[in-house]
Amino acid sequence: MSPTLSQKYLSTRGAEYGLSFEDVVLKGLSSDGGLFIPEEIPALPASWETEWRDLTFEELAFEIMSLYVSRDEIPADDLKDIIQRSYSTFRHAERTPLVDLEKDLHLLELFHGPTFAFKDVALQLLGNTFEYFLTRMNAGKTGKDRHHLTVVGATSGDTGSAAIYGLRGKKDISVSILYPNGKVSKIQEAQMTSVLDPNVHNLRVEGSFDDCQDIVKALFADKDFNTTHNIAAVNSINWCRILAQMTYYFHSYFSLIKSPAYNKGSKVRVVVPSGNFGDILAGWFAKKMGLPADKLVIATNENDILDRFFRSGGHYTKKALDAPADHGVKETHSPAMDILVSSNFERLLWFLSYQSATTGSAEERRQHACDSVSGWLNDLKTNGGFQVPSAVLEGAKVDFESERVSNDETIATIRDIYSTSFPKGLTAGSAKSSKTGGYILDPHSAVGVAASRRSIARNPGAAHISLSTAHPAKFASAVDLALRSENGYDFTEILPQEFIGIEQRESRVTDVGREAGWQGVKEIVKAEVEQELQGLR
Ligand SMILES: Cc1ncc(COP(=O)(O)O)c(C=O)c1O
Ligand SMILES: N[C@@H](CCOP(=O)(O)O)C(=O)O
């Protein structure tokens, strides 16, 4: 059976097209620097709402992934097995449960995977998918004939540990994670550096998350290094990340409409704490496929490039127009979203640009979208920003709204929810104090909840699914700042078993100075992988 258009992939910048799912998962980033997207967004089967309503998380994941992955590439039983193994590591039977927090506000807990953040949903699956393809490619091969992947990733705290837990100990894969020194929480750092498997390498970089992300992109662009080392991506530039995240948009929709707290027929809005735009992009694909979401609300912290895009009439710039010249990334209470540029916005821009070209053949419109995206991203690199045509901005406004949440509001929201929200029926592992019954938000989820409350005020009666992207125990300082004077509050009570003593464990990390640049990082990655392959680690 030949693949459908949604099972074939192209680069947003036009150099590559007609690629398979396997190609794009293993390559990560296109040779032209573009991101991979499906050639078409599939429509849901006619009876999806009745047929999918009572499926488990794993069954839903299978249905959705099947629309984007040809059976010739991964036979049904193999795909089911990959999915089953990926979510068997989750602590909650529902995988991503929905909690009724307050009127019209439902919190989607995405932190029940191995590293307590939403990234596990995609990275458990990506790790097993890499392994599946490599096992097939390497059947009957030995030694240097085996295909070996060198994964390089950048993290502002959560992707790193989720990738490491998804890949540790896997045959034929090395993983090097770059993180900015001093800009991830202590627990996040310990989650990464305490993993001592020989195939795991941590690089602590002097700089920001954006510096780490730029180094990763430069490594991908180095053709020689890429050819000799088969560089692969775990960041949300990898299409598999976006695909895997679609499942919880559908799963939470079904949980919501089955909840007694839902007024039948009410509009549904989904609010997503956003940084690199990968999480909410999965929601956009779900909406385009047919999920009946009224709007997707982008919730940013004070690093607000996405919010400024909407408020400035389609101007996408690294720094606000009125900001001082040296304005860089701000350090906020939600550090995993401290990002200047949102990688995945490029994918959305491609589709909006394609859609805005109302004349011409599909081929010509595709070329128009690739040319526009290439031009914009070039302007971003050389001039620090670009302006999109009004048709593109209007296209974005059909599906999105945006909110910017300040540091103070983030802390105030954690405090307010703790003292006013006492959700019932939570199972172990939920972020609820067993002493007071108050619900404890992590600062990223609090950004989402603050934005949800504003959206509810503007849209009374609309049901809001607000994504809770991490467990509060990962962000002790922000949670303590918000709650330390609250009656009965005790941080240790929400500390998962897995985190106890983690900061004191043996750790391994390589420091990378500012002067090293991407070439310096390349030499470190090469040397560490070489040592690993010679069994010296
Ligand atoms: C806890 C948390 N919330 C929100 C985000 C933002 O998600 P995205 O980068 O997909 O927009 C991140 C990082 O990606 C995160 O780690
Ligand atoms: N917040 C992320 C930043 C990397 O984003 P990604 O989703 O593209 O991997 C993190 O925690 O590392």
| Mean pLDDT computed over 247-275 | 97
**How far is CA 302 from each of CA 85, 156, 324, 328, rounded to the nearest angstrom?**
38, 15, 15, 11
Any domain includes 139: no
Please indicate whether residue 444, judged by its CB atom, sits closer than 6 Å to ligand 1.
yes
Other beta carbons within 10 angstroms of residue 221's beta carbon come to 15
Please indicate whether residue 274, judged by its CB atom, sits closer than 6 Å to ligand 1.
yes
Give the integer Cα–Cα distance in Å for 431 and 444: 14
Any domain includes 467: yes
CATH classification of the domain holding 421 = 3.40.50.1100
The residue range of the domain holding 412 is: 98-112+240-340+399-431+439-472
Helix, strand, coil share of the chain (percent; to 5): 45, 15, 40
Please indicate whether residue 117, judged by its CB atom, sits closer than 6 Å to ligand 1.
yes
> Which residue type is seen at 117?
A
User: Is residue 324's pLDDT more than 60?
Assistant: no
Any domain includes 278: yes
Sequence-ordered alpha helix ranges (H) in 315-461? 345-356, 362-383, 390-399, 407-420, 443-458
User: Is residue 255's pLDDT more than 80?
Assistant: yes
Residue from 8, 27, 119, 170 carrying the catalytic annotation: 119
Q: What percent of the chain has pLDDT over 70?
A: 98
- Per-residue model confidence as pLDDT tens digits over 155-165: 999 999 999 99
Mutate to test the pocket of ligand 2, among 118, 158, 203, 240 (most ligand atoms within 8 A of CB): 158
Which residue has its alpha carbon closest to ligand 2 atom 1? 336
Please indicate whether residue 188, judged by its CB atom, sits closer than 6 Å to ligand 1.
no
Mutate to test the pocket of ligand 1, among 403, 442, 444, 474 (most ligand atoms within 8 A of CB): 444
Q: Return phi, psi of residue 107, to 5°.
A: -100, 125
300 band by pLDDT with thresholds 50, 70 and 90: very high
Any domain includes 489: no
Q: Is 424 a catalytic residue?
A: no
Average the pLDDT over each of 71-75, 126-130, 371-375, 485-489 and give the range with the smallest value: 485-489
Return the bridge partners of 203, or none: 178, 510
The pLDDT assigned to 321 comes to 62
Any domain includes 273: yes
Q: What is the pTM of this model?
A: 0.97
Q: Could you give the 3-state DSSP secondary structure of residue 304?
A: coil
Please indicate whether residue 158, judged by its CB atom, sits closer than 6 Å to ligand 1.
yes
The pLDDT assigned to 327 comes to 65
- Per-residue model confidence as pLDDT tens digits over 453-481: 999 999 999 999 999 999 999 999 999 99
| Ligand 2 atom index nearest CA of 237 | 8
Mutate to test the pocket of ligand 1, among 120, 234, 239, 276 (most ligand atoms within 8 A of CB): 276
| Mean pLDDT computed over 499-511 | 97
537 DSSP 8-state letter: -
Any domain includes 188: no
Task: Measure 339 CA to ligand 1 centroid, in angstroms.
Answer: 10
Give the integer Cα–Cα distance in Å for 299 and 479: 19
Please indicate whether residue 208, judged by its CB atom, sits closer than 6 Å to ligand 2.
no
Give the integer Cα–Cα distance in Å for 203 and 93: 35
User: Is residue 235's pLDDT more than 70?
Assistant: yes
- Give the count of domains, the chain: 1
Name residue, tokens 């309503």. 53
User: Is residue 207's pLDDT more than 90?
Assistant: yes
Taking a C-beta distance cutoff of 8 angstroms, is the pair 381, 23 a contact? no
Any domain includes 383: no
The pLDDT assigned to 429 comes to 80
Please indicate whether residue 153, judged by its CB atom, sits closer than 6 Å to ligand 1.
no
Long-range contacts: 431-438, Cβ < 8 Å, 24+? 431/109, 431/111, 431/468, 431/471, 431/472, 431/473, 431/494, 433/488, 433/489, 433/490, 433/493, 433/494, 434/493, 435/488, 435/490, 435/493, 436/486, 436/487, 436/488, 436/489, 438/486, 438/488, 438/489
Any domain includes 226: no
